[in-house]
């Protein structure tokens, strides 16, 4: 829901998808309530996953990695030739510690590309906690790292990310950088646990 809030505040219409259209509509109501008083006239609605993907020019895939392959298979007809942004981070947890659990392709985003090469895969937005994004008043004060093999798709996503309040989009290179972005989620979870904080990443010197 956090990304839906920020994308709507960036001025774009949003269709929230869910396996349960009723749950999607309820989430859309929540997002509308959050952004409604902030002079934002983006439309936010909810729909089943396939309809949401079908109605959208670009799609954000924000689901557990375990559900990735089946969801891509189901949505494939609606994803072809579209920009599809993966925030997915395959993780495992042991003794209270998070670790990266990448698939053989190297990252969730690369596995997605291998499965559906006709979509324009972009990896990004991994290094923010959802509960930070969902607060429309919070200035993010961090970088949004975006990676893709499709330069135009990457620039289009960076253009939206640059409209997130307080944030700066950073070109993280080819889709292969998703390995580091997804792995950083595990590291940030551990850092945030140690410091009882919501740390994010900032690249200095650029």
Residues in touch with ligand NAP (CB under 6 A): 18-20, 23, 62-65, 67, 71, 87-89, 91, 126, 129-130, 185
Smallest distance from ligand NAP to CB 204, Å:
22
Which residue's CB is nearer to ligand NAP, number 67 or number 203? 67
Coil, strand, or helix at residue 170? strand
CB of 72 to ligand NAP, least distance (A): 10
Q: Which is nearer to ligand NAP, 63 or 170 (CB)?
A: 63
Q: Is the dihedral of CA 145, 17, 29, 13 positive or negative?
A: positive
In Å, what is the CA distance from 108 to each residue of 25, 162, 177, 187? 28, 24, 11, 17
Residue 39 CB, shortest distance to ligand NAP, in Å, is 27
Q: Name the DSSP letter for residue 67.
A: G
Whether the Cβ atoms of residue 2 and residue 130 lie closer than 8 Å to each other: yes
Specify the residue, 67 or 114, whose C-beta has the smaller distance to ligand NAP. Answer: 67
Q: Which is nearer to ligand NAP, 37 or 195 (CB)?
A: 195
Paired tokens of 39: 């002079």
Least separation, in Å, of the C-beta of 41 and ligand NAP? 26
Instruction: Compute CA distances 65 → 53, 101, 184, whole Å.
Output: 18, 10, 15
Find the shortest distance in angstroms from Cβ 193 to ligand NAP: 13
Of the pair 23, 168, the CB lying nearest ligand NAP is at 23
Backbone angles phi, psi at 52, to 5 degrees: -60, -45
User: Which residues is 100 bridged to in the sheet?
Assistant: 91
């Amino acid at each position: 829901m956090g990304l839906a809030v920020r994308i709507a505040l960036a001025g774009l219409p949003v269709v929230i998808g869910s396996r349960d259209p009723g749950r999607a509509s309820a989430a859309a109501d929540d997002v509308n309530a959050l952004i409604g008083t902030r002079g934002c006239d983006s439309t936010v609605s909810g729909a089943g996953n396939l309809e949401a993907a079908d109605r959208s020019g670009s799609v954000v895939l924000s689901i557990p990695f375990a559900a990735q392959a089946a969801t891509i298979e189901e949505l494939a007809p609606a994803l072809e030739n579209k920009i599809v942004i993966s925030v997915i981070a395959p993780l495992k947890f042991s003794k209270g510690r998070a670790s990266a659990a990448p698939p053989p392709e190297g990252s969730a985003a690369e596995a997605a590309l291998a499965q559906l090469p006709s979509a324009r895969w972009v990896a990004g937005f991994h290094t923010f906690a959802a509960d930070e994004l969902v607060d429309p008043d919070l200035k993010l004060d961090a970088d949004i790292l975006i990676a893709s093999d499709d330069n135009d798709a990457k620039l289009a996503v960076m253009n939206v990310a640059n409209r997130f309040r307080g944030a700066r989009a950073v070109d993280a290179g080819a889709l292969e950088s998703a390995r580091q972005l997804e792995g950083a989620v595990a590291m940030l979870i551990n850092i945030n646990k140690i410091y009882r904080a919501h740390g994010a990443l900032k690249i200095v010197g650029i």
